[in-house]
């Protein structure tokens, strides 16, 4: 009776489970990711700075006309509106990231953050590992430059993606 013996001349075999899971996933291109970052910055600025600027411009004709009167109201409204805009921006961002791994701009341009294995990325992973850790590492000279240059690698992951074990894909 012949026993089944492994062929000593066969190529090595390996189980690559993570590749099988990510079939059909299309990584977002660097230009789209850059556009989303810039758009997120514009959206945040619009939601916080524009209301403050509008109140400042609307209140300018009244400033100095009424001692202790209406001008104080306009001055007091400026930071309040900025804070309201920042809270609204944070609420929308957290809502979208929690729902689908997207910031406001990522939702608009049609990309999202997921785990490298294809599973959804949690809000905590995105907030702590992709953002907080990355900001803390940003104090290292040239870190931010090197961090974003990683996007041009084959995996299209910035360092914050590697740290958080996430990828950005077309939604």
Give the CA distances from residue 117 to residues 42, 58, 120, in Å, rounded to whole numbers and listed in that order: 31, 52, 9
Q: How confident is the model at residue 20 (pLDDT cuts 50, 70, 90)?
A: very low
CB 39 within 8 A of CB 33: no
Closest CA to 74 of 93, 54, 89, 99: 54
Rounded to 5 degrees, what are φ and ψ at 167? Answer: -135, 160
| 137-163 mean pLDDT | 94
Q: How confident is the model at residue 64 (pLDDT cuts 50, 70, 90)?
A: low
Structure confidence by residue, pLDDT tens digits, 22-63: 567 899 999 999 999 999 999 999 999 998 888 888 776 655
Q: Is 4 a residue whose pLDDT tops 70?
A: no
Q: What is the pTM of this model?
A: 0.78
Cβ neighbours, 10 Å, residue 70: 12
Q: How confident is the model at residue 78 (pLDDT cuts 50, 70, 90)?
A: confident
Structure confidence by residue, pLDDT tens digits, 90-125: 999 999 999 999 999 999 999 999 999 999 999 999
């Amino acid at each position: 009776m012949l026993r089944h013996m492994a062929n000593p001349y066969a190529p090595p075999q390996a189980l690559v489970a993570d590749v099988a899971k990510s079939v059909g996933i299309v990584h977002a291109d660097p230009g789209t990711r850059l556009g989303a970052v810039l758009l997120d910055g514009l959206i945040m600025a619009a939601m916080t700075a524009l209301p403050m600027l509008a109140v400042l411009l609307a209140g300018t004709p009244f400033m100095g006309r009424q001692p202790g009167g209406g001008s104080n109201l306009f001055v007091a409204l400026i930071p309040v509106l900025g804070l309201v805009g920042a809270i609204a921006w944070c609420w929308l961002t957290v809502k979208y990231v929690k729902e689908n791994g997207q910031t406001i701009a990522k939702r608009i341009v049609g990309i999202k953050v997921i785990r490298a294995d294809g599973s959804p990325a949690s809000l905590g992973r995105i907030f702590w590992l992709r953002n907080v850790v990355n900001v803390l590492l940003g104090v290292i000279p040239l870190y931010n430059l090197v961090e974003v240059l990683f996007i041009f690698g084959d995996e299209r992951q910035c360092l914050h993606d590697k740290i958080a074990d996430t990828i950005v894909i077309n939604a």
